[in-house]
């Protein structure tokens, strides 16, 4: 009798366990079921893009809490390296891939202009107070070459006749990026295009040997935040940063002479004007599978009275194929950017022109599961 009773007790316990397991399975979100799965997407790269991308990620996560997107601003160069080594799922990059790199990965990657931004030239000259400094490509080239030493230099005064008496006889501290940076490539490309040959082609790139460093007046900062910190805390310094950083940290921003001869402030209107002019050049591909290596030629120092001369597209670079769950998550994020991203543009950035947005839509269509 005792044996029968113990046998029945085991059966009852097993039954209760199975019922409890069934209840848990029906009431707990599945770890493998469609959009209820927690999906982690990792990216790294451009600090130029970082502020806007992080704002989008934060808002998107509230809409789709099952998708977690992480982004580490390590610079465009390091971001590309990590992406191609499969350490991340995507990278942020300001200039798109070079023609050589695009050929190496042709058919396997998609490049997406994601938002417009601008490189601001920032400075710390206490004597100027609320007055705005005017600069052009030639003078900036001479400053970064180390040839202009003092703020009251003749060439700087000539560009600023209304405030020339305020310019101090103080040595210029020249700040640049110390890491491999898309912002640096855009800035040096602008110097090359706008200086009538003063800034050589060999000094255009993400990571260069800065001539001014040989004078002892050059300082390097890691990321846009690093340059901001140095300029903000160093009187008589000058540097270049993504515009949103300059606005966020209250730095003085120079007016730059554009290709049409006007001194232009970087703002939403002048950034959009440059983007629209670039879209009309015919140098931009219409597909995310295309070669974007001529993009800087289209937009940096572009024509147009209102065009800010150091405007650029900033990009997300992704694989054409992912495992199904990651493909779906990335498509969802890109779709959200297309439908809602423009409502959450931070100061210092600007939305894409309509024709360029079509590249993102095409990427969503092309992405395939698998791989």
Residues 228-268: tens digit of each pLDDT:
999 999 999 999 999 999 999 999 999 999 999 999 999 99
Domain boundary among 223, 257, 272: 272
Domain around 221: 119-272
Same domain, 109 and 134: no
For residue 367, the model assigns a pLDDT of 87
For residue 50, the model assigns a pLDDT of 95
Domain assignment of residue 162, yes or no? yes
Domain assignment of residue 245, yes or no? yes
Domain assignment of residue 23, yes or no? no
Same domain, 83 and 212: no
Beta carbons of 159 and 139 less than 8 angstroms apart: yes
Domain assignment of residue 304, yes or no? no
Q: pLDDT of 54-89, one tens digit each?
A: 999 999 999 999 999 999 999 999 999 999 999 999
For residue 298, the model assigns a pLDDT of 95
Domain assignment of residue 68, yes or no? yes
Same domain, 123 and 86: no
Domain assignment of residue 330, yes or no? yes
Same domain, 143 and 95: no
Domain assignment of residue 13, yes or no? no
- pLDDT band at residue 18, thresholds of 50, 70 and 90? very low
Spatial separation of the C-alpha atoms in residues 141 and 170, rounded to whole Å:
18
**Residue keyed to tokens 């992480």:** 70
Same domain, 225 and 327: no
Same domain, 74 and 166: no
Question: How many structural domains compose the chain?
Answer: 2
For residue 25, the model assigns a pLDDT of 33
Domain boundary among 272, 302, 321: 272
Same domain, 73 and 135: no
Same domain, 136 and 192: yes
Same domain, 124 and 265: yes
- pLDDT band at residue 37, thresholds of 50, 70 and 90? confident
CATH assignment of the domain containing 58 = 3.40.190.10
Same domain, 99 and 196: no
Domain boundary among 220, 254, 272: 272
Which pTM was predicted? 0.87
Nearest one of 142, 126, 132 to 174, comparing CA atoms:
142
Same domain, 182 and 131: yes
Q: What is the DSSP secondary structure assignment for residue 47, as one 8-state letter?
A: S
Same domain, 137 and 99: no
Q: pLDDT of 148-157, one tens digit each?
A: 999 999 999 9
**Residue keyed to tokens 């099952």:** 66
For residue 36, the model assigns a pLDDT of 58
Domain assignment of residue 301, yes or no? no
On the question of pLDDT at 299 being above 80, the answer is yes
């Amino acid at each position: 009798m005792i044996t029968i009773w113990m046998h029945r007790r085991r059966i009852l316990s097993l039954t209760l366990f199975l019922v409890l397991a069934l209840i848990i399975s029906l009431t707990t979100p599945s770890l493998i079921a469609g959009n209820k799965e927690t999906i982690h997407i990792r990216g790294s790269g451009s600090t130029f893009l970082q502020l806007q991308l992080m704002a989008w990620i934060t808002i998107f996560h509230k809409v789709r809490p099952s998708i977690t997107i992480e982004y580490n601003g390590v610079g465009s160069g390091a971001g590309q390296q990590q992406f191609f080594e499969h350490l991340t799922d995507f990278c942020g990059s300001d200039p798109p891939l070079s023609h050589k790199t695009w050929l190496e990965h042709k058919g396997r990657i998609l490049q997406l202009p994601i938002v417009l931004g601008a490189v601001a030239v920032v400075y710390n000259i206490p004597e100027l107070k609320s007055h705005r400094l005017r600069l052009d490509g030639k003078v900036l080239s001479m400053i970064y070459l180390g040839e202009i030493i003092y703020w009251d230099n003749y060439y700087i005064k000539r560009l600023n006749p209304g405030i020339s008496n305020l310019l101090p006889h103080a040595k210029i501290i020249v700040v640049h990026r110390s890491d491999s940076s898309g912002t640096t490539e855009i800035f040096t490309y602008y110097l090359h295009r706008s200086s009538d040959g003063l800034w050589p082609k060999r000094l255009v790139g993400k990571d260069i040997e800065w001539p001014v460093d040989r004078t002892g007046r050059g300082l390097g900062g890691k990321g846009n935040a690093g340059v901001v910190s140095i300029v903000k805390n160093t009187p008589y310094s000058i540097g270049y940063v993504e515009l949103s950083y300059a606005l966020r940290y209250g730095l003085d921003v120079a007016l730059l002479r554009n290709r049409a001869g006007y001194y232009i402030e970087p703002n939403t209107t002048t950034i959009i004007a440059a983007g629209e002019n670039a879209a009309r050049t015919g140098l931009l591909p219409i597909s995310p599978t295309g070669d974007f290596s001529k993009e800087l030629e289209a937009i940096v120092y572009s024509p147009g009275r209102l065009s800010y001369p150091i405007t650029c597209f900033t990009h997300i670079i992704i694989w054409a194929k992912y495992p199904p769950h990651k493909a779906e998550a990335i498509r969802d994020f890109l779709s959200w950017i297309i439908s809602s991203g423009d409502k959450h543009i931070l100061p210092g950035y600007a939305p894409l022109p309509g024709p360029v947005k079509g590249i993102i839509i095409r990427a969503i269509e092309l992405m395939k599961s698998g791989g």
